[in-house]
A and B are shown apart, each in its own frame.
Chain A
Amino acid sequence: EIVLTQSPATLSLSPGERAALSCGASQTIRSNSLAWYQQKPGLAPRLIIYDASSRATGIPDRFSGSGSGTDFTLVISRLEPEDFAVYYCQQYDNSPPYTFGQGTKVEIK
């Protein structure tokens, strides 16, 4: 099973700042099979990025994903008030089992 480790656990930033979230995998993820989700309190997760760098439908271009192999990054270029949330990475290499990272909370400084 691929273990995903996200860092940092918490990111304290101000609106307008750039956020960079990391997701490391315990083994190589083939075909860049990595997604990022945003979750706000009391709500279901929302798909932000899939295949490491493709934005999901309706996601603004301030969100970008990059990386390959075992190291992946989600960047929010300029934080908007609605972007403060918890972000999870998820791998879907080949077939289940799928795994999620433990999450990074982006909070208002």
Chain B
Amino acid sequence: EVQVVESGGDLVQAGGSLRLSCTASGFTFNFYAMSWVRQAPGKGLEWVSTISGSGSGTYYADSVKGRFTISRDNAKKSVFLYMSSLRAEDAAVYYCAKDSLPAAGHFDYWGQGTRVTVSS
């Protein structure tokens, strides 16, 4: 059974930093790109970042480029999102999602989400 579990969400001050973690199981982890998608309160989905299966390719939304860093540890079947210079508009539930097929770009398994709150 495929499982994706996020952790690390917290209340942080504007300008601060936070690291989110995502641990997966039930599939050949290094075959699949993994992504972070966020959802601000009462708003829609926003793609944040993707990392390729090998970790050699990383991609970011313009809204987070230069502030967020995605990484992965295939031995630990984990993906991370390091967020710095946090802003009020970064407050959201952050979902970790698995590509449906290697490098597919659509997501078949999602975690339950972890909430990031940014105080000013």
Contact = CB atoms under 8 A, between A and B. Distances in A.
Interface residues of B, number: 22
Interface string A96-109: 11111111000000
B68 interface: no
Interface string A14-35: 0000000000000000000101
Contacts of A1: 62
Given A44-B95, A44-B111, A44-B113, A50 B104 contact: yes
Interface of B is mostly: strand
Nearest to A96: B59
B113 A98 contact: no
A84 interface: no
Which of A39, A44, A90, A101 has most B Cβ within 10 Å? A44
Nearest to B113: A44
A97 B107 contact: no
B88 to A, nearest CB: 20
Interface of B: 35, 37, 44-47, 50, 59-62, 95, 100, 104-108, 110-113
Given A44-B111, A44-B113, A45-B45, 9 more contacts: A1-B62, A35-B107, A37-B45, A44-B112, A57-B108, A88-B44, A97-B47, A100-B47, A103-B44
Interface of A: 1, 33, 35, 37, 39, 44-47, 50, 56-57, 88, 90, 92, 95-103
